[in-house]
Amino acid sequence: MRFTIQKAVSHPGIFTQRIRRQWSRDVTIILFLLPSVALFFLFVVYPVIQAAHYSVYRWNGLGSLADYIGFKNYQALFQDPIFLQAIKNNILIAVLSLLLQLPAALLLALLINRKMPGRTFFRTVFFLPYVLAPVVTGLIWSFIYNPSNGLVADLLRQFNPGATPPAFLADTRTVLYAIFVAICWQYFGFHFVLYVAGLQNIPAELIEAARIDGASSRQATFYVTLPLLGSTIRLSVFLSILGSLQYFDLIYVMSNGGPVNASETMATYQINYGLQRFALGYGSAVGVIMFVLCFAFALLYQRVIMRQDLSGRPAL
Amino acid sequence: MQVAIKRQWSWLPAFAVCCVVATIILIPLIATFSGGLRTNGELLTAPFSIPRTLHWENFGRVLAAGSPFWGEIINSLLTVVGTVALLLTVACPAAFVLARISFRGREVIFNFFLFGLLFPLTVAVLPLYITIRSLGLLDSLWGIILPQVAFALPTTILILRNFFRAIPIELEDAATIDGASRPVFFWRVLLPLARPAMSVVSILAVVSSWNNFLLPLLVLTDQSQWTLPLGATQFQQQYATDWASVLAFITLAMLPAILIYLIAERQIVAGLTAGAVKG
């Protein structure tokens, strides 16, 4: 230590050089980070904070925030059967996804994880809908469900000519399930691709070893492959639930929450009852509830279920 | 012998299942395209037979001069170009600093960005709308581009940072010895090496910008600024009885996305899985 100080003093050039280098490092850090941090703060973090702020006011979006009403917006929300229905719909979509969409994606990934003709073609096709705009998917499926010229109506007419074709999107009992089919069509490919990537990381020797030890191919799948795929499955469940809480585009196009609010989700409710009715405080409260639900779920899930997958990574 | 044959054909059931699923995926797309080639009368009587004469005039009507399609596709393209250019400009330097310079608070800033992975736009879209309005960016494509860049930052920085980290320190030492400062090293050495990672994040941004709907719906009320997804819904509402034209419009609107996907499938898949797994 003494030595370096002496050296630095006796060679003032090195000292100033080091300061200059330190200074140029700090300037680089600041100049390089600032634009990103500023944009991220202004358009992502600040709105989230503002949502909490607006949500305790009655505010039409114009004029100043004057009408402070405390938690009345939240009270009103939890007393509104339409909003409760919206939450229920979000949960129903999440549950259906877990029960149908993800197992189907997993099964297909397992099927395709072997030598067979057309593998790349199938992979390309399965993932294709995911890159389409949800709006486009919504329009396509509106056409397919259309009672006068849609595919479903036409198919039913083939079997039962003369019957009035059902209007799935106009019936409160079927609308959400009809939308769910479109959701699966668009999103299962994403989970499929996650599983395929996960499967490729499992060394083939492990499966071979199990087979040599006398395991049937089903046993090898259940006792070797699936446990090793655990972290991927847990991740895909996580992303699926998080996504289910936020559907907007597809539903907006196919039913806009109707008929009679049967397919309302939190996101469509936020727009239909917040923005469209100039109740921005009220709408922001919906945003805050979504935020809290997502955050609580993410925290809980990562702490409890994904704990073993995240070791070595800073926790949120 | 029999075992060999059995083994040789053991993929058949899996193949059959995949064929069925592929058909289910493709039928809506084919029906949309072929629906655009019919008259509305044909759509009513036999929407899914093979069309006898191809009515390209539906496509002609969508593409005719004076149709809103052209303006909308140009707006969509401008938004995509602006988003990708700005995203790379701000995210590359940030990812570089977060990857290769150690300083106090680095992990805090990085986690601050990672936090954004959890919350897509939907959650705070109303206050975001107010923010955009108070910046005077309503009915401007910048009102779409800037938030899109902000929301793309977490994934982008994550992917780029991982890439920058993997570049050996010896390279930086060599550059330093040759007298290169950090910014010079970044610009002359790192960025040219990072082209694959940059193409991955660019393509992801292209796809999500091209498909974005909620933000344009709120921000762009002036029809001359509309992007394609907005135009598609409007077109469908306006021509609700003319499904043939609507289907032609939808086909044309999704064609660029499909083309990009077929060209860059590898990058898209790699980017999405990397973003998801590491997040």
Mean pLDDT of A178-200: 94
CB atoms within 10 A of CB A96: 17
pLDDT at B215: 93
Mutation target for B interface from A32, A101, A108, A154: give the one with most B CBs within 10 A: A32
pLDDT at A311: 55
Nearest to A25 among B90, B101, B157 (CB): B101
Does the structure show a pLDDT above 90 at A160? no
The model's pLDDT over A24-60, given as tens digits with 9 standing for 90+, comes to 888 889 999 999 999 999 999 999 999 999 999 999 8
Mutation target for A interface from B125, B157, B227, B260: give the one with most A CBs within 10 A: B125
Q: φ, ψ for residue A263 (rounded to 5)? A: -115, 20
CA closest to A231 among chain B residues: B277
**CATH topology (fold) of B66-278:** MetI-like fold (1.10.3720)
Residue B70 distance to chain A (closest CA, Å): 17
Residue B71 distance to chain A (closest CA, Å): 18
Nearest to B32 among A140, A280, A290 (CB): A140
**Cβ B31–A143 below 8 Å, yes or no?**
yes
| CB < 8 Å to B150, chain A | 39-40, 42-44
| CB < 8 Å to A143, chain B | 31-32, 35, 243, 246-247, 250
**Cβ B122–A270 below 8 Å, yes or no?**
yes
Nearest to A48 among B97, B119, B262 (CB): B119
CA closest to B38 among chain A residues: A149
Mutation target for A interface from B83, B121, B126, B277: give the one with most A CBs within 10 A: B126
**Cβ A44–B35 below 8 Å, yes or no?**
no
pLDDT at B18: 94
HEC profile for B247-279?
Answer: HHHHHHHHHHHHHHHHHHHHHHHHHHHHHHHHC
- Here the ipTM equals 0.90
Q: Which residue reads 């100039």 in tokens?
A: A278
HEC profile for chain A?
Answer: CHHHHHHHHHCHHHHHHHHHHHHHHHHHHHHHHHHHHHHHHHHHHHHHHHHHHHCCEECCCCCCCCEECCCHHHHHHHHCHHHHHHHHHHHHHHHHHHHHHHHHHHHHHHHHCCCCCCHHHHHHHHHHHHHCCHHHHHHHHHHHHCCCCCHHHHHHHHHCCCCCCCCHHHCCCCHHHHHHHHHHHHHHHHHHHHHHHHHHCCCHHHHHHHHHCCCCHHHHHHHHHHHHCHHHHHHHHHHHHHHHCCCCHHHHHHCCCCCCCCCCCHHHHHHHHHHCCCCHHHHHHHHHHHHHHHHHHHHHHHHHCCHHHCCCCCCC
Is residue B167 within 8 Å of B108, Cβ to Cβ? no
Residue B229 distance to chain A (closest CA, Å): 6
Which tokens go with A145?
């469900």
DSSP state of B38: S
**Cβ B236–A125 below 8 Å, yes or no?**
no
Which tokens go with A159?
């079997």
Is residue B93 within 8 Å of A247, Cβ to Cβ? no
The model's pLDDT over B37-87, given as tens digits with 9 standing for 90+, comes to 888 877 777 666 677 778 888 898 888 877 889 999 999 999 999 999 999
Q: Which residues of chain B have pLDDT under 70?
A: 1-7, 46-49, 275-279
pLDDT at B278: 55
pLDDT at A7: 47
Nearest to B127 among A47, A115, A132 (CB): A47
Structure confidence at residue A14 as a pLDDT band (50, 70, 90): low
pLDDT at A207: 84
Mean pLDDT of chain A: 87
d(CA B210, CA B207): 5
- CA angle at residue A84 from A79 to A88, to 5 degrees? 165
Is residue A29 within 8 Å of B97, Cβ to Cβ? yes
| CB < 8 Å to B89, chain A | 35
| CB < 8 Å to B214, chain A | 248-249
pLDDT at B67: 82
pLDDT at B74: 94
pLDDT at B154: 93
Residue B206 distance to chain A (closest CA, Å): 10
| CB < 8 Å to B185, chain A | none
Q: Are strands A57-58 and A67-68 parallel, antiparallel or unpaired?
A: antiparallel
Which tokens go with A259?
């008929």
**Cβ A131–B15 below 8 Å, yes or no?**
no
pLDDT at B161: 93
**Cβ A142–B236 below 8 Å, yes or no?**
yes
| CB < 8 Å to B116, chain A | 40, 44
d(CA B56, CA B38): 8
A68 forms bridges with which residues in the sheet? Answer: A57
pLDDT at A288: 94
Q: Per this entry, what is the length of chain A?
A: 316
Write b or e for each residue in B123-153: b if 16 or more Cβ atoms lie within 10 A of its Cβ, otherwise e.
bbbbbbbbbbeeeebbebbebbbbbbbbbbb
Q: φ, ψ for residue B251 (rounded to 5)? A: -60, -45
**Cβ A37–B114 below 8 Å, yes or no?**
no
Q: Which residue reads 């959701």 in tokens?
A: A183
Residue B57 distance to chain A (closest CA, Å): 20
Nearest to B268 among A131, A139, A267 (CB): A131
pLDDT at B6: 61
**Cβ A132–B257 below 8 Å, yes or no?**
yes
pLDDT at B13: 87
Per domain, the residue ranges of chain B are 2-59, 66-278
A58 forms bridges with which residues in the sheet? Answer: A67
Write b or e for each residue in A124-138: b if 16 or more Cβ atoms lie within 10 A of its Cβ, otherwise e.
bbbbbbbbbbbbbbb
Mutation target for A interface from B123, B215, B255: give the one with most A CBs within 10 A: B123
| Cis peptide bond upstream of A259, omega within 30 | yes
| CB < 8 Å to A246, chain B | 120, 122-123
pLDDT at A164: 76
pLDDT at A4: 47
